[in-house]
Chains A and B, each alone.
Chain A
Amino acid sequence: RKEVEQDPGPFNVPEGATVAFNCTYSNSASQSFFWYRQDCRKEPKLLMSVYSSGNEDGRFTAQLNRASQYISLLIRDSKLSDSATYLCVVNSGAGSYQLTFGKGTKLSVIP
């Protein structure tokens, strides 16, 4: 069974803190990796793709370790607006557009 595992949290952090989320995936054939955010009762929204060399988008940094099948997301200088559930997402294999979602890690940024 192809799974994506995440710590469910919640992570409660003060504004300005740095927080890290981790994710493991079981399907070694996965080739595309993403972090999505989901606000309560809303649709998932793409936060960033994750590349093998690691990539950064402003306060957000994503890392991928294919050997360990491990993905991480680091959020620096947390804002109140970062409060959401962060979903680790992988595709189902070469040429597959099917995405497998983790259950998500809930983040609450506290004033």
Chain B
Amino acid sequence: EPEVTQTPSHQVTQMGQEVILRCVPISNHLYFYWYRQILGQKVEFLVSFYNNEISEKSEIFDDQFSVERPDGSNFTLKIRSTKLEDSAMYFCASSSWDYGYTFGSGTRLTVV
């Protein structure tokens, strides 16, 4: 079964540092997403990406965040100047046109 692959599985960073979370979506999917889940909280939408541009973003996705598809396979989330409250599980997902989302196994980001 096709998978969405995320790396690293766990990232520890110091407050104020920049992190890049990486994802390889399913190859024939056209829509890509980042969600996050703070421990004990609900899964929250950050951003969706289609046709090499952002199609939707939430209030959480401010200037601190950016996404990129640097080549034909990778999809990255960059968080600049991390804050303690950015600590969360970050899930990448991809889908085809029929909302069939597949989530990656997540990157646990810990900001210290």
Interface hits, A80-107 → B, CB 8 Å: 87, 91-92, 96-104
Q: How far is the CB of A98 from chain B (nearest CB, A)?
A: 5
Q: Is A57 in contact with chain B by the CB < 8 A criterion?
A: no
Q: List the B side residues contacting A49 at CB < 8 Å.
A: 99
Per DSSP, chain B at the interface is strand
Q: How far is the CB of A21 from chain B (nearest CB, A)?
A: 15
Q: List the B side residues contacting A103 at CB < 8 Å.
A: 41-42
- Range for the number of chain A residues in contact with chain B: 20 to 34
Our pick among B43, B89, B102 for the contact of A87 (Cβ within 8 Å) is B43
Question: How many angstroms from the CA of A43 to the CA of B9 in the assembled complex?
Answer: 12
Our pick among A43, A97, A104 for the contact of B106 (Cβ within 8 Å) is A43
Selected A-B contacts with CB under 8 Å, 17 pairs: A32-B99, A42-B105, A43-B104, A44-B91, A44-B103, A46-B100, A46-B102, A49-B99, A92-B56, A96-B56, A97-B50, A97-B55, A97-B95, A97-B99, A101-B42, A101-B44, A103-B41
> Which residues from chain A sit less than 8 Å from chain B, CB to CB?
32, 34, 38, 41-46, 49, 87, 91-92, 96-104
